[in-house]
């Protein structure tokens, strides 16, 4: 495999032998190159002029599982490279991406077998200490028996040792459920249909497990409904909270032929189980004490589910991973705006939920009018002198909160909102004391985890009708907010450097807007503090999607 032959000065990409990619932001070919390499490389850093990507095993396997060949990946590198692409990178892309599909899991005579056409590889893997405990006897030189109970943990182990297994063992059939999408003026968008079809793949063994990645506000719930209409079997839906449960229920009853009796809720208030059952991650992981088991995980086996939907799969807690490893014979759909996990367990999502089946860049949907165009602005503000000294002498673990709760942010948030008179706006923050003060200063309702579900829905309803134009939210506002008219979001504090949280919060203002209306996303950051560094990390995922952050100073907002 030869490297690219010549220097191409007009190109924006520098490919380095350590698998890092440097992309020139101001090059005319930047957007095309970003789209091409973003399908199989991960963004690491995004300063103003040069963005750094890295090619990893997992990024290549997800791309290969989605149908992108190693040849096309290498062709993209060669097409946009400024200098000859190092031969070792081309070789590694070819070899690593080529590992997908070389080891397969099949159903045979009522059991499972691990198989490969490469006999030596299979023998080597069978001797690996991380793998051999999950294999049964060698049936032929190219097949090993696999106990049914080890289907999930074997896939985890093989991913860990660098040989992802393509699971072609199929699925057990769940209880039948007659469900169809309604035809009363509701039509799924083209990309929603494409995502559902990419997941289901006509019910063949290659379809039925995997992750669909779509921007916040792009209608991931509709993809779930479309998949349910294809599968036609009893479905368990795991969500992020009670608000999300309510929204899923509303969508199910409005947009499908299901009746109210078909949709049950298994939550703190009521623990019903029905043909379609909605529950929350918090419910599933609740236990009486830290040393106790998780009693509600039994829900996974309480009914013959034909489909399990994991909403916001990037938030899947560890105990749910554990039980998911035990239900690999059930179809599993993950829905998310980002595969990024702050705990580094992307490999477990890949192994246990399934590889990425469908992904579309946020800016592509923006260009087609399916999500709103958004202006992202980071506003840096100084800390009061006395607080700056407290910050300087604080312990390292205390510094971030001191900077995040900078009292200057309250006045600054009000000045920003004054620049958007009448626009439906949200203020969101991490710390309750901080947002209480801001809500009082703005004269706006406050919604936190202690706000009852009934009161939350009342306030959301008033916001939707325009009776109130500002809500102040704690981190409960990160997910499942159906407030399509929100145009302005001011983020006063967040969870350290969480990229997923940044993406979710931007998503709160990405629902399509009326002509001439513009979405604005502001994040307030204390200058010369740890918060500034965390803010940079938070923005990485959105930068990868093509968003840029304008950096401004508080002085601009005092005029």
Establish if 1 belongs to a structural domain: no
Helices (H) and strands (E) in the chain, counts: 21, 23
Q: What number of residues does the chain have?
A: 559
* Residue 147 and residue 209 share a domain: no
Establish if 4 belongs to a structural domain: no
* Residue 531 and residue 399 share a domain: yes
Nearest to 25 by CA among 4, 53, 1: 53
* DSSP code at position 86: P
**pLDDT of the residue at 1:** 52
* DSSP code at position 214: -
**pLDDT of the residue at 480:** 63
Residues 6+ apart with CB under 8 A from 477: 426, 428, 447, 471, 505, 508
* Residue 144 and residue 258 share a domain: no
* Residue 347 and residue 224 share a domain: yes
Q: What is the pLDDT of residues 401-423, one digit of tens each?
A: 999 999 999 999 999 999 999 89
* Residue 331 and residue 210 share a domain: yes
Establish if 61 belongs to a structural domain: yes
* Residue 490 and residue 388 share a domain: yes
**pLDDT of the residue at 291:** 79
Q: How far apart are CA 204 and CA 206, in angstroms?
A: 5
Establish if 457 belongs to a structural domain: yes
* Residue 481 and residue 385 share a domain: yes
* Residue 527 and residue 381 share a domain: yes
H or E element in which residue 537 lies: helix 530-538
* Residue 163 and residue 83 share a domain: no
Q: What is the pLDDT of residues 46-66, one digit of tens each?
A: 766 888 999 999 999 999 998
Q: What is the pLDDT of residues 104-147, one digit of tens each?
A: 999 988 789 999 999 999 999 999 999 999 999 999 999 999 99
Domain that holds residue 197: 190-360
**pLDDT of the residue at 555:** 66
Per the CB < 8 A criterion, the answer to whether 235 and 307 are in contact is yes
* Residue 349 and residue 213 share a domain: yes
Counting the structural domains of the chain, the total is 4
Q: pLDDT confidence of 501, banded at 50, 70, 90?
A: confident
Query: Which of 360, 384, 399 corresponds to the end of one domain?
Result: 360
Q: What is the pLDDT of residues 180-229, one digit of tens each?
A: 998 777 889 999 999 999 999 988 888 889 999 998 888 899 999 999 99
Q: Where are the alpha helices (DSSP H) in 162-241?
A: 190-200, 220-231
DSSP 361-425: -HHHHHHTTSS--EEEEEEEEPPPHHHHHHHHHS-HHHHHHHHHT-THHHHHHHHHHHTSTT--E
Establish if 177 belongs to a structural domain: no
Percent of the chain with pLDDT over 90: 64
Establish if 179 belongs to a structural domain: no
Give mean pLDDT, residues 470-497.
86
CATH number (domain holding residue 542): 3.40.50.300
Per the CB < 8 A criterion, the answer to whether 488 and 426 are in contact is yes
Query: Which of 76, 97, 118 corresponds to the end of one domain?
Result: 97
* Residue 393 and residue 343 share a domain: no
**pLDDT of the residue at 417:** 94
H or E element in which residue 498 lies: none
Query: Which of 134, 167, 200 corresponds to the end of one domain?
Result: 167
Percent of the chain with pLDDT over 70: 98
Q: What is the pLDDT of residues 291-347, one digit of tens each?
A: 788 899 999 999 999 999 999 888 888 888 889 988 999 999 999 988 777 777 888
Return the minimum-mean-pLDDT range out of 86-90, 164-168, 243-247, 443-447.
Answer: 243-247
Q: What is the pTM of this model?
A: 0.85
Q: How far is the first Cα of the chain from the last one, in angstroms, to the nearest whole number?
A: 60
Establish if 183 belongs to a structural domain: no
**pLDDT of the residue at 5:** 61
* Mean pLDDT value across the chain: 90
Output 242 or 304, whichever has higher pLDDT. Answer: 304
């Amino acid at each position: 495999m030869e490297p690219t032959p010549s220097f191409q000065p007009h190109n924006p990409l520098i490919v380095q032998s350590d698998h890092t990619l440097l992309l020139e932001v101001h090059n005319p070919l930047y957007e095309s190159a970003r789209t091409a390499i973003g399908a199989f490389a991960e963004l690491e850093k995004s300063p103003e002029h040069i963005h750094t990507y890295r090619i990893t095993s997992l990024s290549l396997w997800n791309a290969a599982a989605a149908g992108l060949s190693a040849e096309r990946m290498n062709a993209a590198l060669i097409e946009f490279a400024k200098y000859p692409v190092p031969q070792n990178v081309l070789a590694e892309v070819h070899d690593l991406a080529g590992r997908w599909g070389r080891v397969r899991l099949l159903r045979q005579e009522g059991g499972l077998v691990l198989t490969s056409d490469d006999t030596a590889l299979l023998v080597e893997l069978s001797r690996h200490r991380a793998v051999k405990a999950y294999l049964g006897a060698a049936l032929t030189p190219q097949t090993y028996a696999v106990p049914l109970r080890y289907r999930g943990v074997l896939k985890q182990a093989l991913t860990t040792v660098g040989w992802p297994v393509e699971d072609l063992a199929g699925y057990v059939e769940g209880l039948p459920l007659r469900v169809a999408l309604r035809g009363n003026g509701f039509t799924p968008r083209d990309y929603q249909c494409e995502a559902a079809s990419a997941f289901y793949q006509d019910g063949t063994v290659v379809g039925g497990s995997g992750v669909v990645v779509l921007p916040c506000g792009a209608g991931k719930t509709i993809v779930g409904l479309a998949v349910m209409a294809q599968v036609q079997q009893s479905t368990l839906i795991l969500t992020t909270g009670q608000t999300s449960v309510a929204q899923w229920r509303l969508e199910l009853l409005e947009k499908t032929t299901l009746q109210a009796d078909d949709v049950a809720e298994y939550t703190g208030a009521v623990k019903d189980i029905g043909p379609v059952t909605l529950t929350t991650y918090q419910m599933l992981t609740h236990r009486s004490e830290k040393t106790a088991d998780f009693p509600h995980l039994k829900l996974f086996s309480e009914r013959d589910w034909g489909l399990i939907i994991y909403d916001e799969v990037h938030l899947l807690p560890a105990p749910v991973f554990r039980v998911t490893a035990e239900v690999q014979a059930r179809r599993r759909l993950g829905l998310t705006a980002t595969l990024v996990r702050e705990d580094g367990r992307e490999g477990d999502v890949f192994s246990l939920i399934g590889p990425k089946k469908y992904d579309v860049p946020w800016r592509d949907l923006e260009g087609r009018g399916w999500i709103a165009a958004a202006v992202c602005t980071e506003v840096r503000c100084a800390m009061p002198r006395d607080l700056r000294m407290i910050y300087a002498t604080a312990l390292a673990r205390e510094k971030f909160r001191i900077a995040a709760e900078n009292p200057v942010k309250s006045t600054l948030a009000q000045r920003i909102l004054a620049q958007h008179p009448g626009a439906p706006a949200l203020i969101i923050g991490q710390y309750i004391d901080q947002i209480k003060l801001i809500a009082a200063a703005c004269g706006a309702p406050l919604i936190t985890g202690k706000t009852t579900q009934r009161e939350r829905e009342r306030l959301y309803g008033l916001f939707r009708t325009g009776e109130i134009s500002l809500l102040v939210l704690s981190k409960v506002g990160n997910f499942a907010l159906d407030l399509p008219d929100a145009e302005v979001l001011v983020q006063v504090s967040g969870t350290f450097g969480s990229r997923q949280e940044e993406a979710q919060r931007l998503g709160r203002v990405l629902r399509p807007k009326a002509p001439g209306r513009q979405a604005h996303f502001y994040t307030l950051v204390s200058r010369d503090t740890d918060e500034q560094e965390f803010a940079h990390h938070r923005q990485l995922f959105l930068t990868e999607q093509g968003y840029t952050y304008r950096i401004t100073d508080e002085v601009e907002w005092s005029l």
